[in-house]
A = this chain, B = another copy of it.
Amino acid sequence: MSSKVVSTHDAVAALSFKTLAAGGMHMHNNPMAVVFEIVRQERRIERLITSPSAALAADVLIGAGLVDEVATSYIGFEHLGLAPCFRRAAEAGAVRVLNLDEASITHGLYAGASGLPFAVLPPALELSDVWRSNPTGYRKVIDPFTGVAVLATEAIRPDVAVIHAAEADERGTAWLAGASFTDRLMAMASKRVVVQAERVVSSQTMKEHPAGSTIPGFLVTAVVEAPGGCRPTASHGNYAYDEAALQEYLRMARTAEGFAEWMPRAVPAAR
């Protein structure tokens, strides 16, 4: 049986995409090993799709100048501060921001994972300015049961999702330790899935994990073994985020020059 385990280089080199989704929430489970490789290979991302709350993975891709537009509801570092590259690029107009909220991302991914043509949203969402600020992402639809106009958003079907897992086996089945956030949904919504795993394990080990904590291998295109692959963000069940390293990033990435200096340290082979 052929294995889906490949090198990070080969996994990224084999990908063809316009839209890319990156998993993780805040400073947790950011798939940095693959993200750094995407930077190294300078792969352009027409649209980056984030989880409801992105952090380092999105900020680095934007900082590297690879992202044309980003569909997101939050990019930041929670109590540690704002996302420096996202902020700089958005303020300068260097990246186009497609504003969503967590409901639109979640229900949009659900629609993508389910083959639904679009996603209807709860009525409350109309009251915020989010949908007004993103005319490509939102439309009004007439509820056929009541005749009332309600808000709808696009189904999200990324070409590729990059997801961090604690374990994966050779056939691609992956186990997400701790909180899986929206990562499993993202994998189900995406045409191809690259899993970076702390450990490649036997299928025998994999089958001990509970329902709803795994991604079945038939949805996974490639597995990359990447111990420590979330650093300096946390890998649930494996290591905490490195607050000092994140603080250093936030300090250095405040300028384009500082970010350019930080990158090769974080990605030895980059540039």
Please list the residues of chain A having a beta carbon within 8 angstroms of any beta carbon in chain B.
107, 110-111, 114-124, 139-146, 148, 150, 152, 154, 179-180, 210-213
Contacts and interface: CB of A to CB of B under 8 A. Distances in A.
Nearest to A144: B139
Contacts of A141: 141-144
Contacts of A124: 115
A133 B154 CA distance: 29
A141 to B, nearest CB: 4
Copies in the complex: 2
A116 B111 contact: no
A211 B145 contact: no
24 contacts: A111-B120, A114-B122, A115-B123, A115-B124, A116-B122, A117-B122, A117-B143, A117-B146, A117-B148, A117-B150, A118-B145, A120-B120, A139-B145, A141-B142, A141-B143, A142-B142, A144-B152, A145-B152, A145-B154, A210-B210, A210-B212, A210-B213, A211-B212, A212-B213
A4 to B, nearest CB: 25
A44 B123 CA distance: 32
A255 to B, nearest CB: 40
Contacts of A211: 179-180, 212-213
Given A117-B146, A212-B212, 9 more contacts: A115-B123, A117-B143, A117-B145, A118-B144, A120-B120, A139-B145, A141-B142, A145-B154, A210-B213
Nearest to A121: B116
Contacts of A114: 107, 122
A115 B150 CA distance: 12
